[in-house]
Structure 1
Amino acid sequence: MYGALWRILPGPVWLRILILIALAVVVLWALVTWVFPWVDSLLGPQEGTVGP
């Protein structure tokens, strides 16, 4: 899968690396912005206590 992704990206190696870094940042941003809060709302509150 990663080899196929590498082959379809345009440009020289340095440009491919920049594109992959940008894609990784966008994916992480989307996860933190939408996916993780949605999953947290599905899990419900967790009550934890710390003993003395």
Structure 2
Amino acid sequence: MYGWIWRVLPGPWPVKLILLIALLVGIFFLLMNVVFPMISPMLPYNDVSV
């Protein structure tokens, strides 16, 4: 999968590296701002009993 992403990105390897970093940062922010807040009420760590 990672090899496929590397081959699909256009340009020489420095451009591919910059695009790959931008892609990873975009995925990170998408997960932190959309996915994790959406599923956090369903996770068990909110049920604290001491």
Number of the residue aligned with 1:42: 42
The count of aligned residue pairs is 49
Larger helix percent:
2
The answer for unaligned runs of 5 or more in structure 2 is none
The TM-score, its normalising length taken from structure 2, stands at 0.82
The answer for unaligned runs of 5 or more in structure 1 is none
Aligned residues with identical type, % of pairs: 39
Which gives a bigger RCO, structure 1 or 2 (Cα 8 Å, sep 6+)?
Answer: 2
